[in-house]
Amino acid sequence: MAGKEKKSKSLSQDMPESIYINRELSWLAFNLRVLQEAADPAVPLLERLKFLMIYQSNLEEFYRVRIGILTHRAMLTPNKKDPLSGLLPEAQINEVLRITREQQTLMESIWKTIHEELRANKVDVLDFKKISKVDELMSKKLFRDIRKMLDPRIIDYDKALPFLWSGESNIIAFLDYGTEQKLCIIPLHRVPGYLSFEIDGCQKIVLTAQLVRHFLPLLLKKVTILQSAVMEVTRNADVFLSNAAKHTDEDLRDNVSTMLTKRQREMPVRVRLYGKLTDQARAVLMKKLRVPENRVFTQSVPFDLSFRSCIGGPARFRYEERRPARDIGLKKGEFFSYIDRHDLLLSFPFQSMMPFVDLIYEAADDPEVLSIKITLYRMSGSSKVAAALAYAADRGKDVLCLLELRARFDEQNNIDYSEMLEDAGCRVIYGLPDYKVHSKLCVITRQHGGNIVRITQVGTGNYNEVTGEQYTDLSLITAREEAGQDAETAFAALLDGEIPPAAKSLWIAPYSFKSRVMELLDREIAKGEAGRVAIKVNAMNNLEIMEKLIECSQAGVKVELFIRGICSLRPGVPGKTENITVQSVVGRWLEHSRIYSFGEGGEQRIFLGSGDLLNRNLERRVEAFIEAVTPDTREQLNRIINALREDREKSRRMLPDGSYVRDEGGAGTSSQEALYHYFSTFRVSLNEPVPEIEKVGSREAAVSSGPPESGFRSWIKRVFNID
C-alpha cells in the first residue's frame, strides 16, 4: 500500500486494558505487515507474489509451532493465563483463528489483484472455472502426462482416512456409487506443483492440484463425483524428546530422527480447503480428521505459489539486482595479518559471506593454526562453511563442531551434516540436554611467535550462504585475547555438557545476557533525560526486560526499539512508555541482525549477537554477544541504527494501541537500500593505521592512531594482543 496505510485493528481492543500485547497476536500483526508488502503497488509484481508466498509459509509454520504449543497447553493447563494479556490458552487460539480469517479476506483480495496483473502481462494462471477450449485441450494433454503418477484411494464412509502428511496437498472427492457413498483421496506428493505451456506469446501456468481436480472424471470413470476440493492438513510440530533421550548423547541422532517421524503423525491443528464443500461433507472430514469446525479454512488463494520461479517477464517485475560484495579489500592469505591488528565487521547481505569462508580456508592452510571451534545451527544445502571445515580437518587441524540437532525444521539437514563432518575428521558434539545452542560463535587458535593467540568471530545469523543473501546479519571478527579466552571457556563447558559460565568480555546467555542488559539499562536510568537506548532485535516479550524499559521511559531515557516481529510492549502510553518508540522494518531482505546500544558519544557501548529479547533467548538458549570497540566497527553499527531511524519507506511505527502505521512521503528513505550502497562499497586495507585503546565508560574502546610503535610498548601489545 503506497503512502499512509489504513491503521490496523487494535490487538488489545477485545481484551483487558494492558500495556502488554499477547505474543501470538503481536506475531500475527507482523505477518500482516508482510501481507501489506504484497499489496503495495510500489513493490514489483513478482516481489509482491513472493511476499504473498512468505505470508502463507509464515502462517503455516506459526500454526504448526505456536498453535501446536497452545493446543497442548489447552489440554494440559487450560486455566493457566498468559502473563502478558491474561488470556487462557483456548481464548488465545480463538483470537488467532478470528484474526486469521480477517487477514484471509485481505489475502484473497491481494491474490485477485496479482492474478489479474499477471494475466494483463501475458502470464495466465489458469482458472478452470473460466477456461477456454484451447487451454482446456492443452491442459488435458498435461493431465494425461501425469495420470500414471496419481494413486486414487477409495474409502468407505465408515473407514478411516489414509494418513495425510503435514503440508502436502491432496484431492478429496465425495463419490456416489448408487447404493452408497464413498470418499476418494488422491495424494499429490508425486507430481510437480505446477506445469506450463505457451500459446501466442502468453505463458500459461497450470496448478497441478486444480488440474487433477478438474479432470477427476477422466481418472474416476463410471463414478458420479458429487463434490471435490484440494485439501491440506497442518499438523502439530510441538514434539519434544523424552528426558531419557535428551540425556543419551550417543543416541541423540537416532532420537531426533524418531522425533521427526512422530512430528509428521501428530494431530492436525488446521485444515485448508481450496474449493467449497457442503456443510455435510465438511462435517464428515472434521469427524475423520478430528478437528473442530473453526480450524477448517476454505480459501481461494492456491496453497502453492512456487510457480513464481518459472515466470520470466521484464526487469520491472523484480527488484533491481543487488549482489553481495565479494571484495572487502582483503585477499586469501591476508585475513590473519589484518585481524591481528584490526577488528573486522561484515554486514550481510550487502557483503558476501565468502570472506568468512576464506578465513576458515586460510586457517586450514596456516601451519600455526592448532584448532577451529564453531557452533552450527542452520546451514545451507551445499554449505561452503561445512566444506571449509572438512578441508581444515583433512589438513590436520583439530576441528570441533557443535551442531544443534534441534534447530526446528532443520533437524534432518543437521543430522546429515553431522555424519558428513564426522566422516571428514571433525569432532562433532550436539549441545546440551535442556538448552539449545543458538550462538553464532567461532574461535581459531594458533601458536604464533611462542604465544597462543586466537581469532574470535561472533555473529547475529547462521553460517548459511543462502540466508546470508536474504537476511540482514552481522559478523564481527577480532583478535582481542579477552574475547578469545571467553570463547574457549564457552566451548570447554559445552564439550563437557555444561552451560557456559558468565564471561568477562563476551555476553554468554543464559548466565550473562539478561543481567548485562539490565545493568546497562540501569546505567542509562541513572542519567535521566540524558540517557539513550537503541535496541534492534527480531522479537521481544520478556517481562523483566519490558518492566526495565518502562522504568527507563519513566526516568526520561529516550528508548528506540527497532523490532521486526513480535513486540509485546506498547509505546507512547502516558506515564509509562511515552519515551519509547517502536519501529518495524519489513522490506526486500529479512531484518535479522541484533544490536544493543546504550548511551551515546564517547560513553556509548554497543554490542551485537545472536539473541532476541524473548524468554527463550534469555533463559533457555546459549547465545553469544560481543562489544564493538574500534572506531570503524562502532561507526558501522551506528550507521545501521541511523538508517533505521530515518527509514520512512519500509518502516512502520507502532501506535499506543498496538497497531502499526507507515508515514507518508517515505520514498527514497529505505534503510536497506541506504545500507546496501554503503556496505557494498566499503573496503578495508592492510595499511590502515592501528587503533589504540582508550577508556570509554567502564570498558575499553579504540580510537584511530598512527602506525604501530616499536620497542616495549609494541611488545606489550603483541603479548597481550591489544589492538
Rounded Cα gap, residues 214 and 207, in angstroms: 11
My answer on whether 50 and 146 are in the same domain is no
DSSP labels, 694-711: EEETTEEEEE---SPP-H
Instruction: Count CA atoms within 13 Å of residue 490 on its CB side.
Output: 35
Cis ω before 349 (30° cut-off from 0) = yes
Q: How far apart are the first and last CA of the chain?
A: 49
Cis ω before 708 (30° cut-off from 0) = no
**Residue 20 maps to a domain:** yes
Q: Angle CA(210)–CA(211)–CA(212) in degrees, nearest 5?
A: 90
**Residue 527 maps to a domain:** no
pLDDT at site 672: 98
Q: Angle CA(277)–CA(280)–CA(281) in degrees, nearest 5?
A: 45
What is the pTM for the complete model shown? 0.90
**pLDDT tens, residue by residue, 451-487:** 999 999 999 999 999 999 999 999 999 999 999 999 9
Percent of the chain with pLDDT over 90: 80
Please list, residue by residue across 484-510, b when 16 or more beta carbons sit within 10 angstroms of its beta carbon and e when fewer do.
Answer: bbbbbbbbebbeeeebbeebebbbbbb
**pLDDT tens, residue by residue, 210-240:** 999 999 999 999 899 999 999 999 999 876 5
**Residue 344 maps to a domain:** no
My answer on whether 181 and 292 are in the same domain is yes
**Residue 571 maps to a domain:** no
Residue 558 reports pLDDT greater than 80: yes
Cell of 152: 486414487
Q: What is the mean pLDDT of residues 25-37?
A: 98
174: domain CATH number is 3.30.1840.10
Q: Which pLDDT band, with edges at 50, 70 and 90, does 409 fall under? A: low
Note down the domain range covering 1: 1-120
pLDDT at site 411: 72
**Residue 289 maps to a domain:** yes
Residue 395 reports pLDDT greater than 50: yes
Residue 590 reports pLDDT greater than 60: yes
Q: Angle CA(515)–CA(519)–CA(522) in degrees, nearest 5?
A: 140
Residue 717 reports pLDDT greater than 50: no
pLDDT at site 416: 81
Residue 516 reports pLDDT greater than 50: yes
**Residue 412 maps to a domain:** no
My answer on whether 75 and 4 are in the same domain is yes
Domain-ending residue, one of 101, 120, 139: 120
112: domain CATH number is 1.20.58.310
My answer on whether 116 and 12 are in the same domain is yes
Rounded Cα gap, residues 276 and 299, in angstroms: 9
**Residue 179 maps to a domain:** yes
My answer on whether 187 and 313 are in the same domain is yes
pLDDT at site 719: 30
My answer on whether 15 and 86 are in the same domain is yes
My answer on whether 139 and 114 are in the same domain is no
**pLDDT tens, residue by residue, 318-373:** 999 999 999 999 988 999 999 999 999 999 999 999 999 999 999 999 999 999 99
- The C-alpha R_g of the chain, in whole angstroms, comes to 28
Rounded Cα gap, residues 666 and 661, in angstroms: 12
**pLDDT tens, residue by residue, 258-296:** 555 554 557 899 999 999 999 999 999 999 999 999 999
In order of 50, 98, 225, 276, the CA distances from 102 in angstroms are 21, 6, 32, 18
**pLDDT tens, residue by residue, 675-700:** 999 999 999 998 888 776 545 544 54
Count of domains forming the chain: 2
Domain-ending residue, one of 75, 93, 120: 120
My answer on whether 153 and 293 are in the same domain is yes
My answer on whether 92 and 155 are in the same domain is no
My answer on whether 297 and 209 are in the same domain is yes
Please list, residue by residue across 317-339, b when 16 or more beta carbons sit within 10 angstroms of its beta carbon and e when fewer do.
Answer: bebeebebbeebebeeeebbebb
Rounded Cα gap, residues 268 and 236, in angstroms: 6
Rounded Cα gap, residues 329 and 35, in angstroms: 39
Q: What is the mean pLDDT of residues 538-542?
A: 98
**pLDDT tens, residue by residue, 592-648:** 999 999 999 999 999 999 999 999 999 999 999 999 999 999 999 999 999 999 999
For residue 622, the SS3 value is: strand
**Residue 393 maps to a domain:** no
pLDDT at site 251: 57
Domain-ending residue, one of 88, 120, 152: 120
pLDDT at site 405: 79
Active site residues: 438
72 touches 6 (CB < 8 A): no
60 touches 167 (CB < 8 A): yes
Cell of 72: 497442548
562 touches 535 (CB < 8 A): yes
- Please, is 32 exposed, middle or buried when counting C-beta atoms within 10 Å of its C-beta (0-12, 13-18, 19+)? buried
My answer on whether 8 and 110 are in the same domain is yes
For residue 717, the SS3 value is: helix
Residue 8 reports pLDDT greater than 50: no
pLDDT at site 694: 47
My answer on whether 168 and 100 are in the same domain is no
- Rounded to the nearest integer, the mean pLDDT of the chain is 90
pLDDT at site 711: 34
In order of 143, 166, 176, 207, 303, the CA distances from 210 in angstroms are 11, 19, 21, 6, 11
Higher pLDDT, 130 or 413: 130
